[in-house]
Structure 1
Amino acid sequence: MKAKNHILFLSLLSLSLLLNGIHGTGHHGPGHGHHRLKALILNCGSSASEKDADERTWETDEKYILSPDKGVMTKSDTQDPSLPSTVPYMTARIFKSETAYLLPLQNSTSRTLLRLHFYPSSYPNFNISNSYFSVTAGRVTLLSNFSSYLAAQALSQAYFIKEYYLAAGKDPTLTLTFKPSDKYANSFAFVNGIEVISAPALFDADPVLAGTAAGSINDDQQASTVPIEASSMETMFRLNVGGQYIAPANDSDGLMRSWYDDTVYLYGAWYGVATQANVTVNYKGLPSYMAPLDVYRTYRRMGPEATVNSVANLTWIFQVDPSFMYLLRLHWCDSDMTRTNQRVFDVFVNNKTAASEIDVFALTGSVAAPTKRDYVVHVNNNTDQLWLALHPYKASKPEFADALLNGLEIFKLSDNAKSNLAGPNPVMSDLMKKYQDAEMEPKSFGSDQKESGTSTVVITGAAGGAAAVGIAAVIILVAYKRKRRVPGADPASGPSWLPISWNSSNNSASKSSTMGGKSQGGVYISNDAASNCRYFSLAEIKTATKNFDESNVIGVGGFGKVYKGIIDNDTQVAIKRSNPSSEQGVNEFQTEIEMLSQLRHRHLVSLIGFCEDNGEMILVYDYMGKGTLREHIYKGNKTTLSWKQRLEICIGAARGLHYLHTGAKYTIIHRDVKTTNILVDDKWVAKVSDFGLSKTGPNMNKGHVSTVVKGSFGYLDPEYFRRQQLTEKSDVYSFGVVLFEVLCARPALNPSLPKEQVSLADWALRCARNKTLEDIIDPQLKGKINPECLKKFAETAEKCLADHGVDRPTMGDVLWSLELALQLQDNHEGGSTTSRTKNRKNNPENSEPKMDQNSLIAMHRSTLSLGDDDEEHKTRTSDTTEDIFSMFVDQKGR
């Protein structure tokens, strides 16, 4: 009976597909190359078709489930700001028993590209941490006892995508089965989105087995190849080497692949030089679907120092599952060399020669002609690392001692005997222990190479950066190992780095790390930071807060509760305590200390000290008596601010942000600008707070930092959202939302409003362009704002919300415009008030702005001085003044 029903279902499905034209609809992004790939993309758990941010239509999954009654359609309770689109992540199909999809294939004779989208969020009546399940595609096991919750925690990402290339078969349909684990109580399976794409001939030749290529890459008699036609694959890594993140919508031929920055995987002190082609790059015979042109336009090379290059490798390291074969695809396009034997190099994979004497110009016979080569290596069960190294080849005496790489893809190959691709879930304690050492052992590559390469060495180190495709869990830890290393730290005393959101209850690494040269309980705090602020014992904190009495709670945030406290008998402070049960926020805790301990400015909240005792993470700040800006702009909250007061607070916050962008040694991007992070003291002086998500560093001199998207939804820069590239203009966008929030007295997001009004940024821009902005401003302000002042203020906010960062003003420009708006308001009211005049006498940096631009710019640049709010605070920090001043450069900004 079941067989008959199955045949009937197949017949009805085929008829439905013919009638609906699913094979010809081509659900894909617009304008992708010459090949119009046809795809079936499903928004699981949705009752209707919806479009994502790339205008792709995701249809409901219901008609493809063999037993629809077994699946529960649900919606997530929360929307993480890092989601690239609500579709397909905000809906899910949950399975409490084994259930299968029957998915039609466009072309069963070619490989099938399968993507599974997971958003392990909070769903009604389901505890996501209980979700363990297996997934099979036909006879191939993709996942086994898999926990998407642990995977997301390991990656420090709210969502992720598992991507597979399934071997071709004879069946015109694909059976995709989800089965909850039998090993865990109350377990269930779920999926948010499914993509099924008929892949082009991406794998058109068998790859070379690393360790057998004794001669030229073109010498087939000396290089063994590995048959892969029957192997299914999982995408582990896909990198645009030497270039920026390439979003799926910008991939070639509608394949919708993501290409990530490679810097997180670089290993060694030799990072090479990221370079962009200075000539036009064309495919010249290579199929365009192999990689987008942007991959071939940028590359990483070793650099001009031949002496150094000859004794070093350009090396990347990856965390992989042991006991699998891995295919590495190397993409090359040499846009510099114009003849053979100019740049020649060897390729090593896990200490084996994959290719010797690679000359990209000789391979292509042309300048700026892309090519690719595939290599396979087996990773045994004694290691979980995969190393790729390039080293100049010297025997032929090439013109340059150099090597290059444009792109890299790494695929896990299925075990043909078991047709298995499933790896283990990340085990936090084991992974942390493995990467806890302050230094990793150096490796030599090419033990089987010819004499010319026997002396190559790897100069140890690591690099910091972005995210990965798949579940390469520990790459985040490798990245932060270099990023958090502090010169002079004692390796024996504990790790000098900090992982991202990696704080399981089994995390042994969080129990013993170095803090300011002393062993304390959880994170590494540099000596500089520790010396610039005060360390509190937990007993002192408990005394200050009356043992965390709930009556002293003055706020609650993502980090935890904020208490009002008293220290040193009579000094009021704000004490922010991390939620000890969640064990989250370690990275934010360290960032806040490292950042604020080096900054002193009138419009930045001052960090007094911290407590890291007995598993607690506590920060102590100056007390801000008037609370947050948000509390004063909504009717029914605290004191409602006048328009002039709102302007002055916005100007103060802009000064603080302008200082972060231009006044410190390196550009500092706040990354979480919003009205709850702008505080006001008893004198109504605005101060920017909460630096837990801030980014800084010398890499900002290239204009951006590639990083996982974090921030608060409603304030997020859409360009940062799309490209995962953070710039100071991201703060400018967020501040533009703040300006409209101050003007309109409504939240950045309000889901109860009609769809077009939910986002304040979108709604305010629309009203501004339709010249109806006055209709949505705070009713308490109507008739009290000078029209010229309103016009200037609105223009400023509107420019801040430009879709592209290059079109937005700098924070210095924003500050000047706000000062001008305040001048216009003052002129309208007949001059400044007595209290304002008095305040300006006491605070020269607040002196009355002039109408001409040069004077105003000079005035707001003067706010880059290191001014504290009171003499008591100056006395407290006097011992560290010299260290603090050493952190700052030209006070006139960049």
Structure 2
Amino acid sequence: MGFLSLSHSFLYLCSFLHLITAYNPTDIIRLDCGATTNTNSSDDRPWNLDSGSKFMPPASNDLSTISTADQQPSSVEQIPYLSARIFPSQFTYTFPISSGPKFLRLYFYSANYSGRDITKSFFTVSAAGHTLLANFSVFLSSPANSASFVKEFVVHVENSQTLQLTFTPTSSVDSYAFINGVEIVSMPDNLYLTGLNSSNTTLVGQNSRFIIDTDMALETLYRLNVGGSSIDVQNDTGMFRKWDNDIQYLKGNLMGKEPYLNFTVLYNNRTPAYTAPEYVYTTQRSMGPDQNNLQFNMSWIFSVDSGFSYLVRLHFCEFIIDIDRNNQRVFTVFLGDQIADKSVDVFRRAGGREIPIFSDYVVSVPVGNDDGIPSKQDLYLSLFPNIDSIPSYVDALLSGLEIMKLNKSDGSLAGPNPTVPGSPVNQNRKGSSSSLGAIVGGVVGGIAVIAILAFLILKRRRKVVDSPFTNLKS
């Protein structure tokens, strides 16, 4: 018993060491814009003043003002949200920084500052040769459940080793730009901007690969720990990414099962320890044994901007003890109205159990309305059991998910502002439900009918066994 306790302690230590040694960023810059003292946020991240820093332009006091939010509810984190730097005209921060890919996070709090009307603030943000936001309204873009939020981007700093971040108010007389906080964190070279190493990136709908090179910029829209609880920034792998729970994005009545196993994730060169936290891989959502799985799919729905392409990264790890060889759990991945991956056998692809893998897919979401104006549309992700190879179990699984917008050919990531009911702003850009959902429902439904017929034929010849999953083999 003492040996077992020692072994378990060693496993926990290994898990902890994976977390703290996963990645050590070369650059970490955090500015609490408009603040008067250096301080730490509630999650113990240190934030520095932008006033008087080397990142500010000369005569910055003539080009900007500082303010605190007129509304300061206790539900809003004080650092870095309650102070702001206000820009009545174009303003540029200049960051001397090492070359390579960076997370650029912009922190916003929707409030009035020194009596300025937040509803009149519209501005453009650009960095590293890309337009990140255009005609952007913090008021219209703030989530329904929170007035404070983060916009996270991935940009590449060239050999000049300088990153310029520019805020430009729209030409309206009353308009202004502002920012509450800026965070810049280095990342490994091939984490997202994989370049010629994009052998794992599938262009959905075409028999080809997609290269995400250093000329591109990305915006993080969703990062989910599927089947597990949220993971805060301090428990990421060194890059301060936040992983949300997936429950609010599930579509339909099939919630699936949420198995969890505490084990040491076997990271490797293909999936290094910085890829995602261990907790992402030790949890999952699966269809489970209590469903007639051939009649359903496990689906999530995400709101995205039409007219862009998206990197969808799916994280998997097979850890159920009954899965110990190839062709036991195989499933199909649908993105929108298209098959993204026909036969996913996680055990086979990873090379065993408790070995994490991820698969990257690039999917385009066309403008779906007649006027050609971009709008919010729904992107469906669906997993459906594939029984073509007569696997042991009728099931599917997912451990984690990331969705990142890719810039257009003109370098822009900017989409339209969401429309607030009753607001005159962007009335012609109301979000519409995409036909993608209806199409994928039809596709999956049709496949389900075919699969059920195949299942009935197989059932006459084989006894269906209820193991931990619905089982096709006797």
TM-score range, shorter chain: 0.7 to 0.9
Deviations 1:501-521 (A, max 9, x none): xxxxxxxxxxxxxxxxxxxxx
**What is the CA–CA distance in structure 1 between the aligned matches of 2:221 and 2:449, rounded to whole Å?**
30
Residue 140 in 1 paired to residue 130 in 2? yes
Question: How far apart are 1:453 and its partner, in Å?
Answer: 6.5
- In structure 2, do the counterparts of structure 1 residues 174 and 279 end up closer, same or farther at CA, with 3 Å as the change threshold? closer
2:204 pairs, out of 201, 210, 221, with: 210
1:320 pairs, out of 292, 297, 304, with: 304
Residue 402 in 1 paired to residue 399 in 2? no
Task: Map residues 76-95 of structure 1 onto 2, 5 A cutoff.
Answer: 76-83=69-76, 85-95=77-87
Contact 1:392–1:403 (CA<8 Å) still a contact in 2?
yes
- In structure 2, do the counterparts of structure 1 residues 269 and 34 end up closer, same or farther at CA, with 3 Å as the change threshold? closer
**What is the CA–CA distance in structure 1 between the aligned matches of 2:186 and 2:298, rounded to whole Å?**
36
User: Scaled by the length of structure 2, what TM-score is found?
Assistant: 0.80
- In structure 2, do the counterparts of structure 1 residues 237 and 346 end up closer, same or farther at CA, with 3 Å as the change threshold? same
**What is the CA–CA distance in structure 1 between the aligned matches of 2:442 and 2:348, rounded to whole Å?**
25
Question: How far apart are 1:46 and its partner, in Å?
Answer: 1.7
- Map of 1:575 onto structure 2: none
Question: How far apart are 1:414 and its partner, in Å?
Answer: 0.4
Task: Map residues 250-289 of structure 1 onto 2, 5 A cutoff.
Answer: 250-253=235-238, 255-277=239-261, 279-285=263-269, 286-289=271-274
Residue 393 in 1 paired to residue 377 in 2? no
Contact 1:130–1:185 (CA<8 Å) still a contact in 2?
no
- Map of 1:66 onto structure 2: 57
- Map of 2:289 onto structure 1: 304
Residue 353 in 1 paired to residue 339 in 2? yes
- Map of 1:50 onto structure 2: 39
Question: How far apart are 1:445 and its partner, in Å?
Answer: 5.8
**What is the CA–CA distance in structure 1 between the aligned matches of 2:451 and 2:252, rounded to whole Å?**
13
- In structure 2, do the counterparts of structure 1 residues 240 and 402 end up closer, same or farther at CA, with 3 Å as the change threshold? same
Contact 2:419–2:431 (CA<8 Å) still a contact in 1?
no
- Map of 2:330 onto structure 1: 344
- In structure 2, do the counterparts of structure 1 residues 163 and 145 end up closer, same or farther at CA, with 3 Å as the change threshold? same
**What is the CA–CA distance in structure 1 between the aligned matches of 2:250 and 2:451, rounded to whole Å?**
17
Tell me the secondary structure at the aligned position of residue 167 of structure 1: strand
- In structure 2, do the counterparts of structure 1 residues 280 and 199 end up closer, same or farther at CA, with 3 Å as the change threshold? closer
2:90 pairs, out of 67, 86, 98, with: 98
Contact 1:278–1:335 (CA<8 Å) still a contact in 2?
no
Question: How far apart are 1:193 and its partner, in Å?
Answer: 0.5
Deviations 1:386-427 (A, max 9, x none): 111111111100000000000000000001x21000110111
Give the residue type in structure 2 aligned to 1:343.
R
**What is the CA–CA distance in structure 2 between the aligned matches of 1:185 and 1:98, rounded to whole Å?**
14
Contact 1:391–1:456 (CA<8 Å) still a contact in 2?
no
Tell me the secondary structure at the aligned position of residue 113 of structure 2: coil
- In structure 2, do the counterparts of structure 1 residues 167 and 352 end up closer, same or farther at CA, with 3 Å as the change threshold? farther
Residue 131 in 1 paired to residue 127 in 2? no
**What is the CA–CA distance in structure 1 between the aligned matches of 2:71 and 2:218, rounded to whole Å?**
33
Deviations 1:262-301 (A, max 9, x none): 1111111212112212644332442111111111111000
Contact 1:393–1:453 (CA<8 Å) still a contact in 2?
no
Give the residue type in structure 2 aligned to 1:65.
M
- In structure 2, do the counterparts of structure 1 residues 197 and 313 end up closer, same or farther at CA, with 3 Å as the change threshold? same
Residue 162 in 1 paired to residue 159 in 2? no
**What is the CA–CA distance in structure 1 between the aligned matches of 2:447 and 2:299, rounded to whole Å?**
18
Task: Map residues 603-642 of structure 1 onto 2, 5 A cutoff.
Answer: none
Tell me the secondary structure at the aligned position of residue 319 of structure 1: strand
1:192 pairs, out of 176, 180, 189, with: 180
- Map of 1:112 onto structure 2: 102
Question: How far apart are 1:185 and its partner, in Å?
Answer: 3.2
Contact 2:132–2:413 (CA<8 Å) still a contact in 1?
yes
Tell me the secondary structure at the aligned position of residue 320 of structure 1: strand
Tell me the secondary structure at the aligned position of residue 114 of structure 2: coil
**What is the CA–CA distance in structure 1 between the aligned matches of 2:451 and 2:67, rounded to whole Å?**
56
Task: Map residues 543-582 of structure 1 onto 2, 5 A cutoff.
Answer: none
**What is the CA–CA distance in structure 2 between the aligned matches of 1:34 and 1:407, rounded to whole Å?**
18
- Map of 2:21 onto structure 1: 33
Question: How far apart are 1:61 and its partner, in Å?
Answer: 1.3
2:68 pairs, out of 60, 66, 75, with: 75
**What is the CA–CA distance in structure 2 between the aligned matches of 1:66 and 1:433, rounded to whole Å?**
39
- Map of 2:372 onto structure 1: none
Percent identical among aligned pairs is 37
**What is the CA–CA distance in structure 2 between the aligned matches of 1:32 and 1:114, rounded to whole Å?**
22
Greater Rg over alpha carbons, structure: 1
2:317 pairs, out of 327, 333, 336, with: 333
Question: How far apart are 1:227 and its partner, in Å?
Answer: 1.4
**What is the CA–CA distance in structure 1 between the aligned matches of 2:431 and 2:160, rounded to whole Å?**
46
**What is the CA–CA distance in structure 2 between the aligned matches of 1:290 and 1:401, rounded to whole Å?**
29
**What is the CA–CA distance in structure 2 between the aligned matches of 1:298 and 1:66, rounded to whole Å?**
47
Residue 176 in 1 paired to residue 165 in 2? yes
Contact 2:294–2:448 (CA<8 Å) still a contact in 1?
no
Give the residue type in structure 1 aligned to 2:46.
T
- Map of 1:368 onto structure 2: 354
Give the residue type in structure 1 aligned to 2:245.
D
Tell me the secondary structure at the aligned position of residue 211 of structure 2: coil
**What is the CA–CA distance in structure 1 between the aligned matches of 2:396 and 2:22, rounded to whole Å?**
32
Give the residue type in structure 2 aligned to 1:396.
S
Tell me the secondary structure at the aligned position of residue 363 of structure 1: helix
Q: Number of matched residues?
A: 403
**What is the CA–CA distance in structure 2 between the aligned matches of 1:455 and 1:129, rounded to whole Å?**
53
Contact 2:280–2:400 (CA<8 Å) still a contact in 1?
yes
Task: Map residues 513-552 of structure 1 onto 2, 5 A cutoff.
Answer: none
User: Scaled by the length of structure 1, what TM-score is found?
Assistant: 0.43
Contact 2:336–2:440 (CA<8 Å) still a contact in 1?
no
**What is the CA–CA distance in structure 1 between the aligned matches of 2:157 and 2:128, rounded to whole Å?**
11
**What is the CA–CA distance in structure 2 between the aligned matches of 1:287 and 1:382, rounded to whole Å?**
38
**What is the CA–CA distance in structure 1 between the aligned matches of 2:242 and 2:146, rounded to whole Å?**
15
- Show structure 1 runs of 5+ residues with no match: 1-30, 213-222, 458-894
**What is the CA–CA distance in structure 2 between the aligned matches of 1:295 and 1:151, rounded to whole Å?**
28
Structure with greater proportional helix content: 1
Tell me the secondary structure at the aligned position of residue 209 of structure 2: coil
Question: How far apart are 1:241 and its partner, in Å?
Answer: 0.4
Query: What is the RMSD computed on CA atoms of the aligned residues?
Result: 2.3
Question: How far apart are 1:326 and its partner, in Å?
Answer: 0.4
Question: How far apart are 1:371 and its partner, in Å?
Answer: 0.7
Give the residue type in structure 2 aligned to 1:181.
T
Contact 1:44–1:194 (CA<8 Å) still a contact in 2?
yes
Task: Map residues 445-484 of structure 1 onto 2, 5 A cutoff.
Answer: 446=443, 455=450
Give the residue type in structure 1 aligned to 2:392.
E
2:219 pairs, out of 234, 252, 255, with: 234
Question: How far apart are 1:35 and its partner, in Å?
Answer: 2.5
- Show structure 2 runs of 5+ residues with no match: 1-18, 370-376, 422-426, 453-474
**What is the CA–CA distance in structure 2 between the aligned matches of 1:278 and 1:50, rounded to whole Å?**
36
**What is the CA–CA distance in structure 2 between the aligned matches of 1:390 and 1:95, rounded to whole Å?**
46
Give the residue type in structure 2 aligned to 1:187.
S
Give the residue type in structure 2 aligned to 1:265.
Y
